[in-house]
Amino acid sequence: NAGVTQTPKFQVLKTGQSMTLQCAQDMNHEYMSWYRQDPGMGLRLIHYSVGAGITDQGEVPNGYNVSRSTTEDFPLRLLSAAPSQTSVYFCASSPDSATGELFFGEGSRLTVL
Amino acid sequence: GQSLEQPSEVTAVEGAIVQINCTYQTSGFYGLSWYQQHDGGAPTFLSYNALDGLEETGRFSSFLSRSDSYGYLLLQELQMKDSASYFCAVHPGNTPLVFGKGTRLSVIA
């Protein structure tokens, strides 16, 4: 059982480039979310989804897009990368919105030059 | 909105007990979670308190007081491997978890 899988684990981009961070889970979880983690800032919510076809914005959504066409996948798109988006990105899932337990992927470390 | 306060750093001796406090302000509240994160790793779930009182899981315990908007994580018989960052997170109910900024625990010999 793989759990939550994120790719790539490391990425370097130039300012203005676009890319997609992939997230897939094999636990049939309805609830998926993306967080970014910066030093001293904890984890901040970017976007989340309560099920296929439904997405919503979190605390820091600007510069990011998401879609949820299947239960398993929840990709995060950076439209035009900026140095301020240098961060570690974590995808998480849970069976539903009623639980306080999130299952995290291993993270994607992004550097924007 | 939501806000959480927890100490930024705590140092404790191997074998001792340490308590990490968390106070929160939130417009909605279902419960309080705790997560552990080692350097370079992903956050991993430790506990979730939806009701007042103490929840015990091995060497770790978590406490919640809803009336005081306060909780804590208690780590007993500290081991070197417990050196990590610990995050409290509020479950507002209508949105995903909101995390505190984390407490870096250093366990020394």
Q: Which residues pair with A110 in a beta bridge?
A: A11, A87
Residue B1 binned pLDDT confidence (cut-offs 50, 70, 90)? confident
Mean pLDDT of B65-81: 97
Is B87's pLDDT higher than 70? yes
Contact B97 A40 (CB under 8 A): no
Strand-pairing partners, residue A54, are A51
Q: Select from B31, B42, B94 the Cβ nearest to the Cβ of A104.
A: B42
pLDDT digits (tens, 9 = 90+) for B36-58: 999 999 999 999 999 999 999 89
Helix, strand, coil content of chain A in percent (nearest 5)? 5, 50, 45
Low-confidence ranges of chain A (pLDDT < 70): 1
Residue B2 in this model has a pLDDT that exceeds 90: no
Residue of chain B whose Cα is closest to the Cα of A46: B96
- Average pLDDT over chain B, rounded to whole? 95
Secondary structure element (H or E) that encloses residue A7, with its range: strand A4-7
pLDDT at residue B65 tops 70: yes
pLDDT score of A1: 66
**Minimum distance, in Å, between the CA of residue A41 and any CA atom of chain B:** 5
Tell me what the mean pLDDT of segment B73-101 comes to: 94
Average pLDDT of chain A is 95
The pLDDT value recorded for residue A23 is 98
Q: What is residue A97's predicted lDDT score, i.e. its pLDDT?
A: 78
Give the Cα separation of A64 and A77 in Å (integer). 6
Provide the shortest C-alpha distance from residue B5 to chain A (in Å): 11
Mean pLDDT of B29-40: 96
Q: Which residues does chain B have within 8 Å of residue A101's beta carbon, measured at their own beta carbons?
A: 33, 45, 48
pLDDT of residue A111: 97
Whether B97 sits inside 8 A of A102 (CB atoms) is: yes
Percent of chain B scoring above 70 in pLDDT: 100
Of residues B12 and B94, more confidence is placed in: B12
A101 closest CB neighbour out of B30, B45, B98 = B45
Name residue A38's amino acid.
D
**Which residue among A56, A92, A100 places its CB closest to the CB of B31?**
A100
Quick one: average pLDDT of B5-28?
Answer: 96
Check B43 against A102: CB less than 8 A apart: yes
pLDDT digits (tens, 9 = 90+) for A78-105: 999 999 999 999 999 999 878 899 999 9
